[in-house]
């Protein structure tokens, strides 16, 4: 009667041979290899049992062990060769060239991403370069350097997300302007698209997480007329040649004078409708001439240099451009909504 170890080897070889013969993937071959030769496989387990073999059986068991291991490796190599030979490219005679191709669905840009990309492309054609900055900011860059008073409502924890170490989630992309001006001498001509955060109650027109694109131009003899021409060119590039803009007096801590700018309503052509509340105008965002205090904070001489800054909400523009009536639709990732763009 043969030794139990020899019986296990013979049985395993027979079983492995059948499995390898029917294997059609590399994963199936690898599964058999692990079962026989893996760390917890048959042969490592049997090698631990060799010490208990009777002296008179050791020669026969040792030969069976070595022969079985070699035989299994041959079966393994043969299965791999068979699989490799069968995975080669089929000849033209075996291919049916009349079969239709497989159509792959392609993704597309999110409306917010598209507005950012299109806006950046427009400003680049006007000589602006793109700048970026951190979303986690210091109070200095987000408020102090932008001439924001210590008692300004925007500094309140009810409006701004603060961390325990005193830093905050930026409430605007204006800190990028400060960082750029701190790092280089004038002239400066940048746009800064990015994500911002404010403690707003989400509704159809507000979100705690939104995107802005801000522009900054610092040079000699820059005027409000330059700002208006840039904004007019942007509006016409984005919404068409018939769009007009208007500037209205306003107040921002970091610009003086400050303005809000509107685009003529693209829904009614400026005649008045429900979207523009019969005014013929759509409010876009704010702008103005950079306050001398901001220039001083970054080491620029306001007697030599002047400039303008502007900023607008990307979601606001996307909602106007694509006739979206609820900002929350942009964040819900409903494919039925996104597939329309």
- What pLDDT score was predicted for residue 250? 93
- What pLDDT score was predicted for residue 56? 79
- What pLDDT score was predicted for residue 4? 79
Q: What percentage of the chain reaches a pLDDT higher than 90? A: 50
- What pLDDT score was predicted for residue 76? 83
Q: How do beta strands 188-197 and 129-130 pair?
A: parallel
pLDDT tens track for 269-312: 778 877 778 888 888 889 999 999 999 999 999 999 999 999 99
- What pLDDT score was predicted for residue 187? 94
As a residue count, the chain comes to 341
- What pLDDT score was predicted for residue 41? 78
**Torsion angles phi and psi, residue 259, rounded to 5:** -140, 155
pLDDT tens track for 231-277: 999 999 998 888 899 999 999 999 999 999 998 888 787 788 777 78
b vs e for 303-326, b when ≥16 Cβ sit within 10 Å of the residue's Cβ? eebbbbbbbbbbbbbbbbeeebee
- What pLDDT score was predicted for residue 87? 58
Q: Is the pLDDT of residue 16 over 90?
A: no
pLDDT band of residue 92 (cuts 50, 70, 90) is low
Residues 141, 328, 124, 148: what is their CA dihedral angle, to the nearest 10 degrees?
-20
CA–CA dist 178, 176 (Å, integer):
5
- H/E stretch holding 67 reads helix 58-86
Which DSSP string corresponds to 165-191?
TS-EE-SSSHHHHHHHHHHSPSPEEEE
Which DSSP string corresponds to 92-143?
GGG--TTSPPPP-------HHHHHHHHHHHHHHHTT-EE----SEE-HHHHT
pLDDT band of residue 106 (cuts 50, 70, 90) is confident
**9-13, 95-99, 141-145, 278-282: segment of lowest average pLDDT:** 95-99
This prediction has a pTM of: 0.67
- What pLDDT score was predicted for residue 94? 66
Start-to-end CA distance of the chain, whole Å, equals 77
- What pLDDT score was predicted for residue 118? 96
Q: Is the pLDDT of residue 90 over 70?
A: no
Tell me the average pLDDT of the chain.
Answer: 88
pLDDT tens track for 172-219: 999 999 999 999 999 999 999 999 999 988 888 888 999 999 999 999
**Mean pLDDT, rounded, for 29-55:** 79
């Amino acid at each position: 009667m043969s030794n139990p170890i020899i019986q296990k080897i013979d049985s395993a070889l027979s079983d492995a041979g059948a499995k390898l013969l029917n294997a059609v993937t590399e994963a199936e071959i690898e599964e058999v290899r692990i079962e026989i030769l893996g760390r917890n496989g048959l042969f490592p387990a049997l090698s631990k049992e060799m010490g208990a073999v009777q002296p008179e059986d050791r020669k026969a068991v040792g030969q069976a062990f070595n022969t079985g291991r070699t035989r299994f490796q041959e079966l393994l190599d043969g299965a791999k060769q068979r699989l490799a030979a069968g995975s080669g490219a089929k000849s033209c005679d075996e291919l049916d060239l009349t079969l239709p191709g497989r159509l792959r669905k392609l993704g597309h840009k999110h409306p917010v991403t598209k507005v950012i990309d299109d806006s950046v492309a427009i400003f680049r054609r006007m000589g602006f370069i793109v700048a970026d900055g951190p979303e986690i900011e210091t109070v200095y860059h987000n408020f102090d350097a932008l001439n924001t008073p210590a008692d300004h409502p925007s500094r309140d924890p009810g409006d701004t997300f603060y961390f325990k170490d005193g830093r905050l989630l930026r409430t605007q992309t204006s800190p990028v302007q400060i960082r750029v001006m701190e790092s280089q001498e004038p002239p400066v001509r940048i746009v800064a698209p990015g994500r911002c955060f404010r403690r707003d109650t989400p509704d159809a027109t507000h979100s705690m997480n939104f995107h802005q694109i801000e522009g900054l131009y610092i040079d000699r003899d820059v005027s409000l007329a330059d700002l208006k021409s840039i904004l007019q060119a942007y509006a016409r590039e984005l919404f068409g040649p018939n769009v007009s803009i208007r500037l209205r007096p306003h107040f921002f801590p970091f610009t003086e004078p400050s303005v809000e700018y509107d685009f003529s309503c693209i829904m009614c052509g400026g005649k008045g409708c429900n979207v523009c509340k019969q005014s013929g105008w759509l409010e876009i965002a704010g702008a103005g001439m950079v306050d001398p205090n901001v220039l001083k904070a970054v080491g620029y001489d306001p007697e030599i240099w002047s400039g303008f800054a502007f900023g607008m909400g990307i979601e606001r523009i996307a909602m106007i451009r694509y006739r979206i009536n609820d900002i929350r639709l942009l964040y819900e990732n409903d494919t039925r909504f996104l597939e329309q763009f």
